[in-house]
Structure 1
Amino acid sequence: MSFYTSLNGLKNAQTDLGVISNNIANAETNGFKKSTVSFADIIAGSAFTNPKLLLGIGATVEAINQNFKQGAIEQTGNALDLVVNGDGFFTTKSAVTGDTLYTRNGAFEIDDSGYLLRGGNRLQVFPTDTTGAVTGNTPQSVQIPATNAAGAQFAGVAVSKNGVITASYADGTNTAVGMVALATFLSPGGLRQEGSSNWTATGLSGAATYGQPDSGFYGGILSGALERSNVDLSEEMVGLITAQRNFQANAKAIDTATQISQTIINLRT
């Protein structure tokens, strides 16, 4: 039994090493959230077993938990680089599949059709009038007109703390085109990682609840900056050493069990 107990330990240490390695690999990935492994012990026994004689038979991976602590903020000077300074996720929708994705990476850009997007996924906003007052509660893709009603050409864009996106035109006029819609979840740890700092909702996370930036518990929007990974390399290196030692200890336990078995087999009467 000791072989299988230590084998479980080896597998668990390998899982821990894999998670830590992924964290370290994404130390420079904007909007990335680190993960940690939780383990649970395994007990062999039945309802009729004396509780004083219950035998542990190793451990198993209970969960790989995501840590949504905010990462460091890096100033970029680009007006379309956005940070949620607090709780909430940007909501984006794939222009190809229509899938809804949630992200903390606010590195948006304007495409040739005027949509704000990141990686092909369009930013979702609340509709507003030209002054920035919200006119609806259903998020939609934001599209900046190439010209205003007077025919003036688009000149630039700005995003305020409360999430209002304002387009500027060559004739000096400004027009609000939407307000960033922020999403929160009852259990963000249940979100499914999709890569590229994107998540999708699951039954564990619950459905998204939308709100306006800088109101209630929703964070404000900081323009001209990006949220970096929340990985602490010093902490990960310590975890890496610990996982390595656990792997070595379980391997040594297997070696010891092998020597004991060999000694028993070599016994002579």
Structure 2
Amino acid sequence: MSFFTSLSGLKAAQTDLNVISNNVANTNSTGFKKSKAQFGDLFAAAPTQTTKTVSGQGVRLNRVTQQFSQGTLQSTDKTLDIAIAGEGFFAVKGQPPHDDLTFTRNGALSVRADRQVVDTVGNSAQLFPVDANGIATSTDPADMFDFVLPEADPSDATALLANINISNEGVVSATFTNGNQVSLGAVALASFSALDGLRPVGDGHWQITGDSGPALFTQAGNGAVGQIRSGSLELANVDITDELVSLIAAQRNFQANAQAIETSNTLTQTIINLQV
């Protein structure tokens, strides 16, 4: 039995090492959220047995949970680099024919040749329509639209785009060479009732699941979604010192279980030799 108990410990330690290694590897990944492995003991006894004479049967992985704590905001001085100071997520839409909606904390946006504003993997940033005061007139996902930079003032084709500004409330304002300023929309943000239920799909993006609940869309500055900081990016929430300490602890755990297997093997071999 001790073989299988220690084997479960080896597998658990290996999983812990994998999770910690992934955290360390993504220290420089913008918007990355670290994970933590959670374990539980295995115990079994018959109804007629007294638990005072029954030992445990090892350990098992309960789940790998994501830690959505706020990462450090780093200034970049680039207008289209945006970060969230709060709990929200940027809503981005994949390119046709998929058009799938995903959520990210990585606000490193760029402009394509067709003037569409996309994230690092080519998904289109989404905006809400706004009124003259910069207040979203609808936060219904059906009313969201792609973030596209205009080439010229809609009311004057000779006036070219001169500047873009994104406020703390996520309102995107375009200034043209004739001095006119037009609000293009507000950056779409979403929150979730159960963040741990989100499904990671890579590149700092998550998808909705039944466990996460539906996305609650809103404009920045409302509730817990937080505000938008233009000219900044959110760094990974990985503390490299903590991860290295955890890495050493996981390594020691692995070595201890390996030693237990070796000890059990030595005892078994001794018993076999006595019988011979």
Band the TM-score falls in, shorter-chain normalisation: over 0.9
Superposed CA RMSD: 1.3
Q: Which amino acid aligns with 2:118?
A: L
Q: Which residue of 2 aligns with 1:79?
A: 79
Contact 2:85-2:226 at 8 Å conserved across structures:
yes
Give 1:1-269 correspondences, 5 Å limit. 1-96=1-96, 97-118=98-119, 119-129=121-131, 131-138=133-140, 139-148=144-153, 149-151=155-157, 152-268=159-275
For residues 44 and 138 of structure 2, the distance between their equivalents in structure 1, rounded to whole angstroms, comes to 58
Aligned residue for 1:250, secondary structure, equals helix
Structure 1 runs of 4+ aligned residues shifted over 4 Å read none
SS of the equivalent of 1:261 reads helix
**Is the CA contact (8 Å cut-off) linking 1:90 and 1:182 kept in structure 2?**
yes
For 1:16 and 1:137, the matched residues in 2 are separated by 40
Q: Deviation at 1:130? A: 5.2
User: CA offset at residue 46 of structure 1?
Assistant: 2.5
Identity of aligned residues (%): 43
Partners of 2:42 and 2:254 in 1: how far apart? Answer: 18
CA offset at residue 114 of structure 1? 2.4
3-state SS of paired residue (2:43): strand
Say how many residue pairs are matched: 269
Shift of residue 268 of structure 1?
Answer: 4.1
1-structure distance, mates of 2:34, 2:135: 37
Alpha-carbon separation, structure 1, partners of 2:231 and 2:109: 11
Gaps of 5+ in 1: none
User: Which letter maps to 1:121?
Assistant: N
Offset at residue 53 of structure 1 (A): 2.5
Asked whether the 8 Å contact 2:91–2:104 carries over to 1, the reply is: yes
Could you tell me which runs of 5 or more consecutive residues in structure 2 were left unpaired when the two chains were aligned: none
Q: Give the deviation of 1:111 after TM superposition.
A: 1.8
The CA deviation at 1:259 is: 0.4
**Which sits farther off after the overlay, 103-112 or 245-254?**
103-112
Return 51-60 or 176-185, whichever deviates more: 51-60
**How far apart are residue 131 of structure 1 and its match?**
4.8
Q: Deviations over 1:73-104 (max 9, x none)?
A: 11000001001111100000001311111000
CA drift of 1:134 comes to 2.2
CA contact (8 A) 1:43 1:57 kept: yes
Q: Is the 8 A contact 1:45 1:55 kept in 2?
A: no
